[in-house]
Amino acid sequence: MIISSLHRFIFVAIPKTGTHSVRQALRRHMGPSDLEQVGLFVQSKLPIPELARLQHGHLSLAQVRPFMSAENFAGLFKFAFVRNPFDRFISYCAFMTRVQGQFERDPKKVMRHFIDNPPWQHILFEPQHRFVTDEDGTMLADRIGRVEAMQESYDRIAARIGIPSAPLERVNSSKRRDYRDYYDDLLVEGVARLYARDLELFGYEF
């Protein structure tokens, strides 16, 4: 997460949505009093002990809102990027088995494992809507960009917050086939069940 008092925004870093590329672009415009929490490549924590101890930068708007005045929270432009849940699930499976290469050897077996044993406690597996909605499901973000149109989305966000845009660099990415190549009907049904709210809220489908 990045909280900028200079440009009046909050960037919500939803896992597995190209967050490091966006962070890298935004850091060039951060002011001396701007804040960031991140735990990969760069180590930085918000000056809020309850959030700093989480040791990662994938904070939700609902988590940070109680530590801000209602006026300040409402006055900041809040944005995030989302990704097709079927594609994001493939990214998660590949990332979690990258050391021993299980996904490369038998992707469907890995996918079935995570569908049958969803690790909801793992921040990278959490549904995307939880990062940008409150406990009642009300949207808290002002703008949702899409990984599928990453540069275009970022260009519009940059214009909105008053900074020059720039080409986003690829950071922490991996090469795989089209996500649809990994699925059969049962796997589609399983992921659709896990991420039903994301599919509905953000308008994605297989």
pLDDT at 39: 82
- What is the 3-class SS of 79-99, one letter each residue? EEEECCHHHHHHHHHHHHCCC
Two tokens at 183?
Answer: 């699925």
Average pLDDT over all residues of the chain: 96
pLDDT at 176: 83
Q: Is the pLDDT of residue 139 over 80?
A: yes
- How many C-beta atoms surround the C-beta of residue 61 within 10 A? 22
Q: Is the pLDDT of residue 42 over 90?
A: no
To the nearest 10 degrees (0 to 180), the angle between helices 107-116 and 85-96 is 100
pLDDT per position as a tens digit, 179-202: 999 999 999 999 999 999 999 999
Query: Is beta strand 143-146 parallel, antiparallel or unpaired with respect to 77-82?
Result: parallel
pLDDT at 173: 61
Buried b vs exposed e over 25-60: b needs ≥16 C-beta within 10 Å? bbeebbeeebbbbbeeeeeebbebeebeebeebbbb
Two tokens at 130?
Answer: 């939880």
pLDDT at 79: 98
Q: What is the CA radius of gyration of the chain?
A: 17
pLDDT per position as a tens digit, 153-184: 999 999 999 999 999 987 656 678 999 999 99
Q: Is the pLDDT of residue 151 over 80?
A: yes
CB 157 within 8 A of CB 11: no
Contacts of 138 (CB under 8 A, 6+ apart): none
pLDDT per position as a tens digit, 79-134: 999 999 999 999 999 999 999 999 999 999 999 999 999 999 999 999 999 999 99
pLDDT at 1: 98
Two tokens at 146?
Answer: 């899409």
